[in-house]
Every structure is written in C-alpha cells, then in structure tokens.
Amino acid sequence: MAVVDAIVQFYNKWFAAGIVLDVLVAVMILLFGFLLGRFLGKLVTKLLHEIELNRILKTAGIKLPLERPIGNFVSYVIYIAAVVMALNQFHLATYVLYIIVVILVILTILAVLLAVKDFFPNIFAGISIYREGKLKAGDFIKVGSTEGKVVSVNLIETKLLNEYGDTILIPNSMLTKSKITKLNKSKKRHQIELLSNKLTIFQIWLLV
C-alpha cells in the first residue's frame, strides 16, 4: 500500500498538476526557438551579403562590417524570446522580460531599416530600369555633367566608363531622378579616338 500511495502522490504532484507537460512544452519551445533563431540569423546574414552591405559601407567610408553582427543580433533576439516563452510555461516570465524582448525587436528592426534604407530606392529603380529597358551595356549616356559608356547595370547601381578610362558608379535612384541623354555612339567613339590621338601626339612631343 505504501508503494501505491507513493505512486499516486507522485502522479498527483507531477502529472495531474501538468508540470511534466509544461516541462515538455518549454523544452519544445526552446528547441524550436533556437533552431529558428539560427536559421533566420544565417538567412539575414546571407541576404545582407547578397546586397553587398559591407562593400557598400566600405565605399561610403564606413569600415564597420555589419552583415554578420546584424544576423547574430536577429538570432539572439529570437533566442531570448524563446527563453521568455519557455519560462512563461511555469509562470515565471515577467513584464520586464517582455519589455526587453519588445525593445530588442524594435532595435533590430530599426538597425535593419537604417542599414538598408538607401538600398530599397536603388533596388526599385534598378527593377524599373530593367523592366523598361532604359539602359543596357554599350550605351553612351550623359547624366548631369557625367557621361560615359554603360559597362553594367545591376539592381543597386550603374557602372559607367568615361573617355579617360575612369570607372563611375551611379546609384540607380539617381538615374531615375535625373535626365538621361543617350549620346550618338559613332560620334562618341570619334571623340574618344580624337582624344586618344591628341594624347599620343602630346606624349610624342614630351619624348622629343
């Protein structure tokens, strides 16, 4: 009888009270949260790497790699959220923890928006350029005071090569807001050839 009473007491204390179920649910939440956090962290890092965030920041003079830190930050936010949800199964989660999670989520969203705020206009402009076929490699164009041959057009920027051999990168959003003049190819090539001839004569004169 003593053994039976002990079993009944154990059942009433743990199973009937739902403690074991709460533990199982908490463990499942933690496992799912950590797997989801790791996956989304890597996904964000990959997406930021695809748009070459570090390279663009470096070009802008910001020597601070943010691709991996932002991805890690997203992972940590999800980890903390999973821990809070797991603790809530035992009614241990407090409003303070929820506030921390909300703050972290808001900071993450703000950090991502600040990191990519200049990219969305360029991406939309790049899609517009692709769809309408405004520019293609080989075109000679003039944008403002800048002119040259279109080398490539991607979703972020358009690369030009001017008559001096300099490479010029123009954000796509700037192209959609500016007047683009397509220059006569044969005339432009003739101008470049004349410039090359002048440089050659000048170089010969220097040698003499």
Looking at residue 200, what is its pLDDT? 44
> Would you tell me how many other CB atoms lie within 10 Å of the CB of residue 44?
20
Query: Using one digit for the tens of pLDDT, what is the confidence trace for 165-179?
Result: 788 888 877 877 777
Please give the mean pLDDT across all residues of the chain.
73
Percent of the chain with pLDDT over 90: 6
Task: Provide CB contacts within 8 A for 141, sequence distance 6+.
Answer: 135, 147, 148, 150, 160, 180, 181, 182, 183
Q: Are 71 and 49 in contact (CB under 8 A)?
A: no
Percent of the chain with pLDDT over 70: 70
Average pLDDT of span 51-74:
76
Query: Using one digit for the tens of pLDDT, what is the confidence trace for 118-170?
Result: 677 777 777 777 777 777 788 888 887 788 888 888 777 888 888 777 888 88
What CA–CA distance (Å, rounded) separates 44 from 49?
A: 8
Looking at residue 36, what is its pLDDT? 93
pTM for this one? 0.44
What CA–CA distance (Å, rounded) separates 139 from 122?
A: 20
Strand order in the sheet with 157-161: 167-171, 157-161, 146-153, 140-143, 180-182
The tokens describing 131, both together, are 């769809």
Quickly state the pLDDT bin for 87 (edges 50, 70, 90). Answer: confident
Q: Taking the domains of the chain in order of start, what are their residue ranges?
A: 2-117, 134-207
Evaluate whether the domain defined by 134-207 bears CATH number 1.10.287.3510: no
Lowest-pLDDT range, 27-41, 69-83, 162-176?
162-176
